[in-house]
């Protein structure tokens, strides 16, 4: 009889489902997780919410095989250590999505109709109708940063208000956007054109402080920023500096730490809640049921679809997963920031053919920072389907003698507005880009800072590019400049000793009359 520990406040439906299947379920939200683990060292599974599952906890449970996070995020679990201990970690993606989406809408309505201060005023005996004159949601524009489960439900739930939706999601295809009734936009347009901006992206090194002075300064006067994602995505100091000038409203339920005490955003937040996004009976019950069902499916049917820390199969060098990620990342950058890929085609040469299902997830991870690099291929395919992106794995021709190599093609638009094809391999344990489009024998090691520029081949262009870099005191480490004589095209890939400023590729593109100039840092 397998034992499952539930050291958290979770609906009893989880333990009831487990008990009905013959499992032993020990649920105690009042006892410290360490003490509960010490008293139940024969436990094989663990269900948690925000409780930290540390190496110490896992060491206490020698029979532990599975940890399930009843929710989407799993940064409270040491997944790397779990992998070393051969412990699988699962989450329950989407279980809380509707609850968070409804909270976002509640905040929007409350902010526009001044519900919280009006309630306080009326309870105090005041009658301040003029003071609390509000606005209507109908006809306004909502900017959504990240169109995953929550973002989509925000669109669906708000559709009755006849609002316009601008969305930023690097993996969303134009066809899917049309089906959902949203317009793919740049981050800059979302902040400058929206009445509401709601954030639904993970916190990563790239997104920390992402909402900063530059974006906030473009927001319309009186617009509302809603953050039910992660606290550090918003630069509080920058918001504080612009709040009064722009008359901005800020609604949040996320903080650096979920704990009692004064919050640093208290002086700038118009509505602040104690991380209530997933706190509904329905969401809690859904997460509880899914957690129990996933445990039963895992042990009795070997279902591991939601495992987020899968390892690497025998015979596959992890470098090839990294290569797949980088090739897709370069191809995505080549299409352009505003482009929406419609189709992905892959070819895996040599022994890599047998590892397709392990190489697809890193490709998908290159599109979306919150997508784990090593889930099951079925998760990746489901993600692509959700975004309206077609995936095709073509049979590779090993007669070409590419060895262990892979080709990744991205197509923009159902009728192929643009296509980018990138091939690479591993040489002396280093990533190597061997071809981009018709530019063969590139032999580029993509680490560091790289500037890519494709242009009509003519004298003097390369000099203009290097001069522009020199003017910014950027030193050149290496240059690759293959030509396509048949099409009169040239590609310059210039490795630099420091990152290329964000605005420089655009200026170089104007100078050399090219649509394809971008920087790539890895």
pLDDT, tens digit, for every residue of 75-122?
899 988 998 899 999 999 889 999 999 999 999 999 999 999 999 999
What is the overall mean pLDDT for the chain?
A: 92
Contacts of 216 (CB under 8 A, 6+ apart): 191, 225, 238, 239, 242, 246, 248
Q: What is the pLDDT of residue 223?
A: 97
Q: Mean of the pLDDT values across residues 170-189?
A: 91
428: left (phi over 0), alpha (psi -120 to 50) or beta: left
Task: Say which residue the tokens 């905040």 belong to.
Answer: 107
How many CB atoms lie under 10 A from the CB of residue 12?
A: 13
- Dmax over CA atoms of the chain, in Å, equals 85
Q: What is the CATH number of domain 448-522?
A: 3.30.70.260
pLDDT at residue 130 greater than cutoff 60: yes
Angle (CA) 49 50 51, round 5°: 95
3-state secondary structure of 354: helix
Radius of gyration, CA atoms only, the chain? 26
CA-CA distance, 84 to 41, in Å (whole number)?
A: 19
Residue 217 CA, distance from chain mean position: 25
Backbone φ and ψ for 458, nearest 5 degrees, come out as -160, 155
The encoded tokens of residue 241 equal: 């500096």
Distances (CA, A) of 449 to 71, 193, 370, 479, 494: 37, 33, 23, 12, 8
Helix, strand, coil shares of the chain as percentages rounded to 5? 35, 25, 40
Contact predicate 315/418, CB 8 Å = no
CA atoms within 13 A on the CB side of 506: 4
pLDDT at residue 69 greater than cutoff 80: yes
Beta strands in 66-139 (DSSP E): 66-69, 88-91
Angle (CA) 462 463 466, round 5°: 85
| 97-272 CATH fold | Rossmann fold (3.40.50)
Residue 270: closest CA among 189, 381, 203, 196: 196
- The DSSP output letter for 444 is B
Q: Do domains 3-95+281-301 and 97-272 have the same CATH topology?
A: yes
CA-CA distance, 62 to 40, in Å (whole number)?
A: 10
The sign of the torsion formed by the CA atoms of 18, 19, 24, 27 equals positive
Q: Mean of the pLDDT values across residues 443-469?
A: 95
Contact predicate 340/387, CB 8 Å = no
Contact predicate 402/323, CB 8 Å = no
Contacts of 80 (CB under 8 A, 6+ apart): 309
- The DSSP output letter for 5 is E
Contact predicate 360/372, CB 8 Å = no
Q: Mean of the pLDDT values across residues 342-347?
A: 94
What number of residues does the chain have? Answer: 522
Task: Say which residue the tokens 């929206």 belong to.
Answer: 194
Residue 352 CA, distance from chain mean position: 27
Least confident range of 170-174, 277-281, 283-287: 170-174
pLDDT at residue 413 greater than cutoff 80: no
Q: What percentage of the chain carries pLDDT values higher than 90?
A: 77
Q: What is the pLDDT of residue 75?
A: 81
pLDDT at residue 178 greater than cutoff 80: yes
Tens digit of each residue's pLDDT (9 = 90 or more) over 364-403: 888 875 554 445 667 788 888 888 999 999 999 888 889 9
Q: Where are the domains of the chain?
A: 3-95+281-301, 97-272, 310-446, 448-522
Contacts of 498 (CB under 8 A, 6+ apart): 449, 474, 475
Question: How confident is residue 515, by pLDDT bands cut at 50, 70 and 90?
Answer: confident
Query: Crossing angle, helix 97-113 and helix 149-158, to 10 degrees?
Result: 50
pLDDT at residue 453 greater than cutoff 90: yes
CA-CA distance, 182 to 164, in Å (whole number)?
A: 7
Tens digit of each residue's pLDDT (9 = 90 or more) over 464-512: 999 999 999 999 999 999 999 999 999 999 999 999 998 999 999 999 9
Angle (CA) 345 346 348, round 5°: 165
Superfamily of segment(s) 3-95+281-301: NAD(P)-binding Rossmann-like Domain (3.40.50.720)
Beta strands in 201-300 (DSSP E): 224-227, 249-252, 271-272
The encoded tokens of residue 365 equal: 């991870």
Contact predicate 227/254, CB 8 Å = yes
Contacts of 126 (CB under 8 A, 6+ apart): none
Contact predicate 348/356, CB 8 Å = yes
| 310-446 CATH fold | 60s Ribosomal Protein L30; Chain: A; (3.30.1330)
- Highest mean pLDDT, choosing among 196-200, 414-418, 511-515: 196-200
Q: What percentage of the chain carries pLDDT values higher than 70?
A: 97
């Amino acid at each position: 009889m397998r034992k499952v520990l539930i050291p958290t406040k979770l609906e009893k439906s989880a333990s009831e489902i487990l008990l009905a299947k013959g499992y032993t379920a020990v649920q105690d939200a009042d006892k410290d997780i360490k003490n509960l683990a010490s008293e139940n060292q024969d436990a094989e599974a663990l269900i948690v919410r925000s409780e930290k599952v540390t190496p110490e906890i896992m060491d206490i449970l020698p029979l532990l095989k599975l940890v399930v996070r009843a929710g989407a995020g799993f940064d409270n679990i040491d997944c790397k250590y779990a992998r070393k201990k051969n412990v699988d970690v699962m989450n329950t993606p989407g279980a809380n999505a509707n609850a968070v989406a409804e909270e976002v809408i509640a905040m929007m309505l409350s902010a526009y109709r001044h519900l919280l201060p009006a309630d306080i005023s009326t309870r105090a005996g005041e009658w301040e109708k003029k003071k609390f004159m509000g606005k209507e949601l109908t006809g306004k524009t909502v900017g959504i940063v990240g169109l995953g489960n929550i973002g989509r439900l925000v669109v669906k739930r708000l559709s009755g208000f006849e609002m316009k939706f601008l969305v930023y999601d690097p993996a969303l295809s134009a066809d899917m956007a049309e089906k959902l009734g949203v317009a793919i936009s740049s981050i800059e347009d979302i902040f400058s054109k929206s009445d509401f901006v709601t954030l639904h992206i993970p916190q990563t090194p790239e997104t920390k402080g992402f909402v900063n002075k530059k974006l906030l300064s473009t927001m319309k006067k009186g617009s509302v920023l809603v953050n039910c994602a992660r606290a550090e995505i918003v630069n509080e100091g920058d918001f504080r500096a612009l709040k009064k000038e722009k008359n901005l409203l800020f609604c949040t339920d996320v903080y650096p730490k979920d704990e009692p005490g004064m919050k640093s955003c208290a002086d700038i937040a118009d509505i602040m809640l104690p991380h209530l996004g997933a706190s509904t009976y329905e969401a809690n019950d859904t997460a509880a049921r899914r957690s129990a069902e996933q445990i039963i499916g895992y042990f009795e049917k070997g279902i591991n679809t939601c495992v987020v820390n899968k390892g690497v199969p025998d015979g596959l060098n992890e470098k090839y997963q990294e290569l797949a990620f980088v090739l897709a990342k370069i191809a995505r950058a080549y299409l352009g920031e505003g482009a929406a890929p419609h189709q992905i085609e892959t070819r895996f040469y040599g022994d890599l053919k047998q590892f397709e299902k392990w190489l697809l997830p890193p490709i998908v991870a290159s599109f979306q920072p919150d997508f784990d690099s090593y889930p099951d291929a079925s998760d990746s395919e489901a993600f692509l389907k959700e975004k309206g992106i077609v995936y095709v794995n073509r049979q590779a021709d090993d007669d070409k003698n590419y060895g262990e190599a892979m080709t990744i093609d991205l197509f923009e638009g159902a009728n192929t507005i643009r296509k980018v094809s990138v091939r690479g391999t591993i040489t002396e344990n280093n990533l190597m880009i061997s071809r981009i489009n018709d530019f063969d024998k590139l032999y580029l090691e993509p680490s560091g800072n790289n500037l890519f520029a494709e242009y009509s081949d003519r004298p003097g262009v390369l000099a203009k590019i290097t001069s522009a870099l020199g003017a910014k005191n950027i030193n050149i480490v290496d240059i690759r400049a293959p030509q396509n004589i048949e099409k009169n095209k040239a590609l310059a890939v210039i490795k630099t000793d420091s990152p290329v400023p964000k605005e420089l590729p655009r200026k170089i593109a104007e100078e050399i009359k090219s649509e394809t100039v971008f920087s790539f840092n890895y």
